[in-house]
Amino acid sequence: MPKQIAIYGKGGIGKSSTASNVAAACADEGYRVTIIGCDPKSDSSITLLSGRRIPTIMDLMREGMDIKEEDIVFNGYKGVKCVEIGGPEPGIGCAGRGIIVAISLLKKISKAIEDTDLVIYDVPGDIVCGGFVAPVKKGLVNEAYVLTSGEYMPLYAANNICKGLSRLEMTLNGVICNSRGAPNEENIVSEFAKEIGSQLLAFIPKDVLVQTCEREGFSVIEKAPASNISGVYRKLARSIMTRNEGKIPVPLDDIRLRELTKI
């Protein structure tokens, strides 16, 4: 059975960048990787496809297509299989239902989430309704990671996600800090991780190289493989692939959370 992971965190905190760089780093090491973008924005896999946008499952469904595997699963960097679920225009229809329908369709018509070593679900920042936890509820995710910076709002979101995970009895396998340059950031996130019963897996420093490569449509792993930041992603990727243990997180109360951001 492949390792099936989901990366959670506040919107805009860098989930897609982290997911695509981890995917690329794992592919470099010879793993077969599948990445499923669950955000209606459908930008999870774009840097693995040299900046190309692929049709989303929801795009095809809206047009009433008879959908086959080759219409929705695309080979990206070093054979990483890329799928984008997509969704309706903002303010219309039901994106959550879209995820439920897309996930069951994908299961039915493709082996991309079975015949592989790692499946990464890049889920939207806000789990606003039942559909957004469909991959977890349908038993397609067995490890969860939370991405946060050391600022209050991203930590607040991370803590909320932990509430959701504990309600779903889903284990948390690690916290990743994507630095925004806040003071004492590594300590704050490390302490947060410890207190919720997990640990800090990686500290990703703020590096403009990530954005530069993304603008051109690439991951840093592909475009700047020798850079320091690539090294950080590789280390994170190795740690995800080799570790297994996770614990159901114990969320903090808001007072403690505020205190933490002041240490």
Contacting positions for other proteins (CB under 8 A) = 60, 63-68, 71, 94, 96-97, 100, 129-131, 133-134, 137-138
Is 55 or 225 the residue whose CB approaches other proteins more closely? Answer: 55
Residue where the block lists tokens 């570790």: 243
Q: What minimum distance in Å lies between the beta carbon of 248 and other proteins?
A: 16
Is 68 or 194 the residue whose CB approaches other proteins more closely? Answer: 68
Nearest to 18 by CA among 7, 10, 29, 26: 7
Q: What minimum distance in Å lies between the beta carbon of 187 and other proteins?
A: 38
> What is residue 78's DSSP assignment?
G
Spell out a b/e string for 12-30, using b for 16 or more CB atoms within 10 Å of the CB, else e.
Answer: ebbbbbbbbbbbbbbbbee
Which is catalytic among the residues 41, 107, 137, 206? 41
Q: What minimum distance in Å lies between the beta carbon of 38 and other proteins?
A: 13
Cα distance from N-terminal residue to C-terminal residue, the chain = 41
d(CA 96, CA 135): 11
Is 61 or 209 the residue whose CB approaches other proteins more closely? Answer: 61
Is 65 or 263 the residue whose CB approaches other proteins more closely? Answer: 65
Which is catalytic among the residues 3, 10, 81, 223? 10
Tokens found for residue 223: 């475009």
Instruction: Return the number of other C-beta atoms located less than 10 Å from residue 229's C-beta.
Output: 19
Which is catalytic among the residues 15, 78, 81, 223? 15
Q: For this structure, is 108 an active site residue? A: no
Residue where the block lists tokens 């948390």: 172
Q: What minimum distance in Å lies between the beta carbon of 129 and other proteins?
A: 7
Q: For this structure, is 15 an active site residue? A: yes
d(CA 202, CA 111): 31
Which is catalytic among the residues 111, 115, 126, 254? 126
Q: What minimum distance in Å lies between the beta carbon of 75 and other proteins?
A: 17
Nearest to 42 by CA among 8, 88, 84: 84
Is 20 or 171 the residue whose CB approaches other proteins more closely? Answer: 171
Residue positions annotated with a catalytic role: 10, 15, 41, 126
